[in-house]
Amino acid sequence: MWLDVPADPWIVLGAAAVEVAIGYPASLHRRAPHPVVWIGGMITWCDRRFNCDDDTPTTRRILGVLCLVTTMLVAAVAGWLPTLAPEPFALGLAILIGTLGLAQRSLFDHVRAVARPLTQGDLDTARSAVGAIVGRDVADLDADGVVAAALESLAESFNDGVVAPIFWFVLAGLPGLFVYKAVNTADSLIGHREPRWRAFGWASARMDDLMNLVPARIAGGLIALAGGGGWSVMMRDARKHASPNSGWPEAAMAGALKVRLGGQAAYDGVIVERPLFGDGDGPGVRDLDRGLKVYVTACGLLWLLLAAGGLAWPR
């Protein structure tokens, strides 16, 4: 019964619209940190408490699985509790609380915060802004490197912060949305290949891969459709990425903008050779604004899919 209310595509569309309108105000975040911060705190505590260097890889992997399962259960219960409210209130709560799992506005704002100083020639501010949304070293990036980093983050986060949360919101209501956010947060914090997390974060990384398998391909398709091209590049280059999912939206963005993304990048001072996506030259400053337009259009297309799903949803 609890799935009937929050999983309706119209409810999800309502949450998406409210999130774009108000986002998560900074003033509210200062008083009540975003729930993702709470999830991250729980995962970080588990990492510090149970990921011990003295344990065997097998023990660490088991403890990592237990950490992930516990986090997912807590997230599912948190998503289920609002559905206990009387039905008229449950609808409003589903819309309001559902906004907490979406990042359409915040992603746009973060990338626009990179684009604005670049157009004014303020490279230092642009580097600082892009450093807030990427994991690579940004101190030595030139303007084109900043643009490439921002476009890659925009494409990948379109899936992680928009398409995948909406997919699981539609499929499994607020519990599905919250579970996805918990898994995605766990992957970002401990789903790494470095020795400390290789065993403990294994389950988080694999679960994140699984939960993004379908959404990432939808995200890539929406970007290609919004950009009026990029299908061939996406189909050719998506599988080059080390991740089974990230390459789809990134390759689609490269194809849609007719630029080259990927390539060499530095992480904690270590140079990493990454695959290349696309056939054009590296992106320039103007391409970041073009990428934002593709992103906004892709979000609009996703809204149309939700509306179509609402019309077809069984009553």
Q: Hey, which residues does 272 pair with through a beta bridge?
A: 265
Q: Are 249 and 156 in contact (CB under 8 A)?
A: yes
Q: Are 79 and 143 in contact (CB under 8 A)?
A: no
Q: Is 268 exposed, middle or buried (0-12, 13-18, 19+ CB in 10 A)?
A: exposed
Q: Report the alpha-carbon distance of residue 10 to residue 90 in Å, rounded.
A: 14
- Confidence (pLDDT) at 252: 98
- Confidence (pLDDT) at 26: 64
Query: pLDDT for 282-303, tens place per residue?
Result: 999 999 999 999 999 999 999 9
At 177, list the tokens.
């949305």
Q: Are 241 and 250 in contact (CB under 8 A)?
A: yes
Q: Report the alpha-carbon distance of residue 95 to residue 11 in Å, rounded.
A: 6
Cα Rg of the chain (Å, integer) = 20
- Residue 41 Rama label (left phi>0; alpha psi -120 to 50; beta): alpha
> Any idea what the Cα angle at residue 219 is, between residues 268 and 107, rounded to 5°?
55
Beta strands in the chain (DSSP E): 261-262, 265-267, 270-272, 276-277
Q: Are 80 and 2 in contact (CB under 8 A)?
A: yes
Look up residue 200 and give its amino acid. Answer: F
Q: Report the alpha-carbon distance of residue 257 to residue 226 in Å, rounded.
A: 10
Query: pLDDT for 70-124, tens place per residue?
Result: 999 999 999 898 888 887 788 888 898 999 899 999 999 999 999 999 999 999 9
Low-confidence ranges of the chain (pLDDT < 50): 1-6
